[in-house]
Amino acid sequence: MKYSFVFPGQGSQYVGMGKELADNFAAARDVFNEVNEALSFDLYKVMTQGPDSALIMTANTQPALMAFSMAIVRVLEKDFGINIKEKAAFVAGHSLGEYSAACCAGVFSLSDTAKLLRLRGEAMQNAVPFGVGGMAAVIGLSYKDVDALVEACSNGKDICVAANDNSEGQVVLSGSMTAIDRAVEIAQEFGARKCVKLAVSAPFHSPYMAPAADIMARAFMNVEAHDAQIPLIANVLATPISNHKEIIKHLIEQITGTVRWRETMAYMVEQNVTDLVELGAGRVLSGLAKRSYKELNAISVGSIAEIEELAKNI
């Protein structure tokens, strides 16, 4: 068996995540305490008690999802004796999940990853005024076929781009609200089954995020980084890298660039990965993998029962 470990992105969060682990494992409590200390803020309380309105704030969501994923990693390593660095052929993460993957691979410390994601969330939220931009999921068009729709919805002032190429027939657009509204209106004329606006507060992974990319470029200058101990498949490349300078470069590019998740999964399959293990909240990535590649054993691990099942079979 050949394993890839993947880490979820925004949208997978839920109030209560992490509590079961913290109640049962000191390794998980240590992760949440370290993240709280790094942020000088009780993020764990928001994760486990809410309210939902606080958890879905981007600056909270991003470090919270990473903290939950890393708590699972630490529990697997310390309580079940599973060395992910030995077991994994690759790691990857969807958008902010790429930071979780980098932390798991030893590129950044847990504290620095939490600080980076807190800043990333704030910078992305503040890059454009609220309500100016948005995102929409296009169902039934391939990444290539969505180009004509993007072109029809964009002009010099208002643009939209393909932000997430999630799977064959599922592409997320991002851009000005005018362009996104236009896409929703005319997508079926271009062959889409439907186009649905997403409940997000900004046009992530689009050129409108350039101010956030600049802020993160400066932030990375003050962070200690190491080469990845597990090859990390970068969102903007869909191929693995290990050099820490390359990883940082592509993490910055990722803020305005396309998350090439469909190609990331394809690369794993081409490299004979047999098992894709999603570590963290939700089942989005394992669900995409199951629908895209029937031969891939894709599982999600977010509860004690799921951790025990993985430990038994890995």
Are 109 and 233 in the same domain? yes
Domain count, the chain: 2
250 counts as catalytic:
no
| Residue of 69, 174, 205, 244 marked catalytic | 205
Are 173 and 279 in the same domain? no
What is the residue-level pLDDT of the chain in tens, covering all 314 positions? 999 999 999 999 999 999 999 999 999 999 999 999 999 999 999 999 999 999 999 999 999 999 999 999 999 999 999 999 999 999 999 999 999 999 999 999 999 999 999 999 999 999 999 889 999 999 999 999 999 999 999 998 899 999 999 999 999 999 999 999 999 999 999 999 999 999 888 999 999 999 999 999 999 999 999 999 999 999 999 999 999 999 999 999 999 999 999 999 999 999 999 999 999 999 999 999 999 999 999 999 999 999 999 999 99
Q: How much is the pLDDT for 201? A: 81
Are 175 and 192 in the same domain? yes
* Exposure class string for 262-284: b at 16+ Cβ within 10 A, else e: bbbbbbbbeeebebbbbbbbbbb
**CATH number of the domain that residue 169 is part of:** 3.30.70.250
95 counts as catalytic:
yes
Are 187 and 289 in the same domain? no
Domain housing 8: 3-127+208-313
| Residue of 95, 100, 174, 176 marked catalytic | 95
**Residue 78 CA: distances (Å) to CA of 12, 140, 160, 289:** 25, 43, 45, 28
DSSP letter for each residue of 191-232 = T-SEEEE-S-SS--SSGGGHHHHHHHHHHHTTS-----SS-E
Are 106 and 152 in the same domain? no
Are 120 and 138 in the same domain? no
Are 65 and 143 in the same domain? no
Domain boundary among 200, 223, 258: 200
Are 226 and 139 in the same domain? no
Are 62 and 112 in the same domain? yes
